[in-house]
Chain A
Amino acid sequence: MSIECINLTKRYGNVLAVDKLNITFDEHKLSILIGPSGCGKTTVLTMLNHLTSITDGDIRYDGVSIKDIDPIELRRSIGYVIQEIGLFPHMTVYENIATVPRLLRWPEEKIRKRVDELLELVNLAPDQFRNKFPSEVSGGQRQRIGVARGLAADPEFLLMDEPFGAIDPINRERLQDSFLEIQRRIQKTIVFVTHDIREAVKLGDKIAILRQGRLIQYDETLTVINQPENEFVENLLGSDRALKGLELVRVRDSFDTNFFSLPAGNALTAKKALEQLRAEHRTFGFLKTQEGRLWGYVLARDLERADSEHSIDDLAKSVESILPYGTLMEAITLMVTTGLTSVPVVDDHDIMQGVIRFRDVFDKVAELAGTADE
C-alpha cells in the first residue's frame, strides 16, 4: 500500500505543528521520522492513523484520501506501537495480542495460531508466555509483546512511536537487533519515530528529518550521512557521522578482488615463500588452498626464523575473516584485534573473495567526511 502525504498541515491555534509536509513512504521499507522535540514527528505519525485531525492537506492510501476512510477501520488495519506500550494489565499476553483480531472478529482458531506465531517471531516461548499477565513479565518482554500486538492483525503497515525509548540501553540494543531480524523476515512498511540518531541510522532504510514541522531531508540512510542537506542535519548526525557511516557501508562495496596469496597444501617451502613476499615488498601473506579456501596467514618474520625447507603450512597462523555482508566497522575492529592491515573476505564456504584493506576503509571515511584531499 502506498502512503502519500500531500501538503500535510496541522495547526494548533497559532502554532504550526506540521507545515505542508510532502512525503511518500516506501513499501516494505522502514522509514524514520526524526528531529528535535517539537519538530512534529509524533504529530505526523498520529495523523497517519487519524488519531490527530488534519488541518490542511491530505494523506492518501493507494490514492484514497484519508478523509474518505472510516477512522476506526483505518486504525484496525494499521499496527500502532507507542513508547509506553500500554499493555492492558487485566488481560493476559494472549488476550492483549488478540485485541485487534478480536475487534475484526477473526475465528478464535485463527487467532490462536496467529498469537503463537507472533510470540515465536518476537522470541518469547508461546507456552511460557501465552497466559502470563503484563505484571508478570519484564520491561523488555513487555516491549516485545507490544510489537507482537501491533503486528497481530497482519496490518498493511506499522506505526511506531519511540517503541524502545523506555528501555535501558543494554536491552534496547538487543531489542533493536531482534527487531531488525524480524523486519528482515516480515518486510513490513514501517514509519518509525525516534529522537535517537543512532537508532535511526541502525534501523532505518530511509530517514526523514523534520524541523519545526518542515521536512528538511528525506533520503536513503547512507545518502543522508554522506550528503547532509545543511548544518542542522550535520549537527543532528553528530560529529562522528563518518563512523556511523562505517556501520552502514558493507565490505562488499569496498574490497579488492585482486589480492596476493600463497598456495597452501605443502606446495611451498619457507625459503620460496619468503622470496615471493620480498619480491612484493610484503610483510605477510594469506594462504589459499587449491580450491580457493582461506587457510591462514604467515608473517615474513616467522619465515626468516624458520628452517628454510619447512613447509609454510606448519608455520601458518589462523586468521579471522569477514563476509561481504559485514560492515566496515566490523572490518576495522578485526584489523585492530589481529594487527594486520587487511582482512580476508570470504563467502559462506570460506572461499576467499578478496581482501579489505585498512587503506580502503580509511578512504571511505574520508569520502564520507568530505575530506578526501590528503
Chain B
Amino acid sequence: MITYLSQNSSYVLEKLGQHVMLFLLSWILAMAIGMIIAIISTRPGNEQIGKILIAVTGAAQAIPSIAVIALSYIFLGIGATPAVFALFIYSLVPITFNAASGLLNVDPAMKRAARGMGMTNTQILFRIEIPVSVRPIMAGARSAATITIGAATIATVIGAGGLGDIILIGLRLMELDMILAGAVVTAALAVAVDGLLALLERVTISPGLVTKEI
C-alpha cells in the first residue's frame, strides 16, 4: 500500500481533496440548516412541531445512505452536485435530531428563571439554551461527520469523485493496494475529523457542564 501511495500521491491527494469538498459542503450546510430548523421547532409555542420533528428524524436515521444517494440520482443525475445534495440530506437527519432533542430537554426552570430576570427570547436562546445543549449538538455533529465521510465513498457509484473512486477501481481490478489505500485514507480522514470536533467540543463546553467521569 505504501508503494501505491507514494507512486500515486497526486492522484490520491486529488481524490482526497474531492472527498473533503463533498464532506464539507454537505456537512456545513447541514449544520447551518439543521440548527436553524432545530431552533425554530423548539421555540415556545412550537413544541408540537418539535416533537414531530424529533420523531421523524429519529426514524429517518435508519435509512441507509445508499437509498438517499440513489434517490438523489433519480432526481438530479450523476456527478458531485447530486452527491452533495444526498450527503446534505443524509447528515441533516442526525444533526437536527440531536440538536432539537438537546434544546427541547433544557430544564424549563432555567428558562423560566431567565425570562423572569428580564432576558429577551433571543438572549435566552443564545446565552442559556444553546450553551447548555452543546453536548447533544456536538454529538449530532460528530456522528453526522463520521457517517457522511463514509457515505461519500458510496457516492462514487453516481460519479461523485472522492476516495470512493480509488476503492471502486481497486475493487474492479482486484488491486489490494488500491483498496487498502482508499480504506486507510478514508478511515484516517474520519478519525481526524472526529478528533478535531472532539477538541472543539472540549474547548467550547463550559466546565460546569462536564460531569466528572468516574
Q: A contacts B directly in the complex (CB < 8 Å)?
A: yes
Q: How far is the CB of A156 from chain B (nearest CB, A)?
A: 13
CB-CB under 8 A from A78, the residues of chain B are 118
CB-CB under 8 A from B115, the residues of chain A are 51, 75
Stretch among B24-32, B151-159, B205-213 lining the A interface: B205-213
CB-CB under 8 A from B22, the residues of chain A are none
CB-CB under 8 A from A88, the residues of chain B are 110, 114, 128, 132
Do residues B209 and A89 form an inter-chain contact, with CB atoms below 8 A? yes
Bound Cα distance A159, B115 (Å): 13
Contact of B118 among A76, A82, A85, A87 (CB under 8 A): A76
Contact of A51 among B116, B128, B211 (CB under 8 A): B116
Do residues A103 and B123 form an inter-chain contact, with CB atoms below 8 A? yes
CB-CB under 8 A from B109, the residues of chain A are 82, 84-86
Chain A interface, DSSP helix/strand/loop, else mixed? mixed
Do residues A133 and B207 form an inter-chain contact, with CB atoms below 8 A? yes
Q: Does B131 contact A (CB under 8 A)?
A: yes
CB-CB under 8 A from B132, the residues of chain A are 88-90
CB-CB under 8 A from A85, the residues of chain B are 109, 113
Bound Cα distance A73, B118 (Å): 7
Q: How far is the CB of B25 from chain A (nearest CB, A)?
A: 32
Contact of A86 among B107, B209, B211 (CB under 8 A): B107
Q: How far is the CB of A339 from chain B (nearest CB, A)?
A: 51
Chain B interface, DSSP helix/strand/loop, else mixed? helix
Interface size on A, residues (CB 8 A): 30
Do residues A80 and B208 form an inter-chain contact, with CB atoms below 8 A? no
Q: How far is the CB of B135 from chain A (nearest CB, A)?
A: 10
CB-CB under 8 A from A87, the residues of chain B are 110, 113
Bound Cα distance A135, B207 (Å): 10
Tell me the B104-125 residues at the A interface (CB within 8 Å).
107, 109-120, 123
Do residues B118 and A90 form an inter-chain contact, with CB atoms below 8 A? no
Do residues A90 and B113 form an inter-chain contact, with CB atoms below 8 A? no
Do residues A91 and B208 form an inter-chain contact, with CB atoms below 8 A? yes
The digit string for A66-77, where 1 denotes a CB below 8 A from any CB of B, is: 000000111111
CB-CB under 8 A from A46, the residues of chain B are 116
Q: How far is the CB of A10 from chain B (nearest CB, A)?
A: 17
Given A82-B113, A85-B113, A90-B132, answer yes or no on A103-B208 (Cβ-Cβ < 8 Å).
Answer: no
Closest Cβ neighbor of A74 among chain B residues: B118
The digit string for B196-214, where 1 denotes a CB below 8 A from any CB of A, is: 0000000001111101000
Q: Which residues of B contact A (CB under 8 A)?
A: 107, 109-120, 123, 128, 131-132, 134, 205-209, 211
Extra inter-chain contacts (17) besides given A89-B110, A89-B209, A90-B208, CB under 8 Å: A46-B116, A51-B115, A72-B119, A75-B117, A75-B118, A77-B118, A82-B109, A82-B112, A84-B113, A99-B114, A99-B117, A100-B117, A100-B118, A103-B123, A133-B208, A149-B117, A159-B116
Q: Which residues of A contact B (CB under 8 A)?
A: 46, 49, 51, 72-78, 80, 82, 84-92, 99-100, 103, 133-136, 149, 159
19 A–B contacts, CB within 8 A, in A order: A73-B118, A77-B118, A82-B113, A82-B116, A86-B107, A86-B109, A86-B110, A86-B112, A88-B110, A88-B128, A89-B132, A89-B208, A90-B131, A90-B206, A90-B208, A91-B208, A99-B114, A100-B118, A135-B211
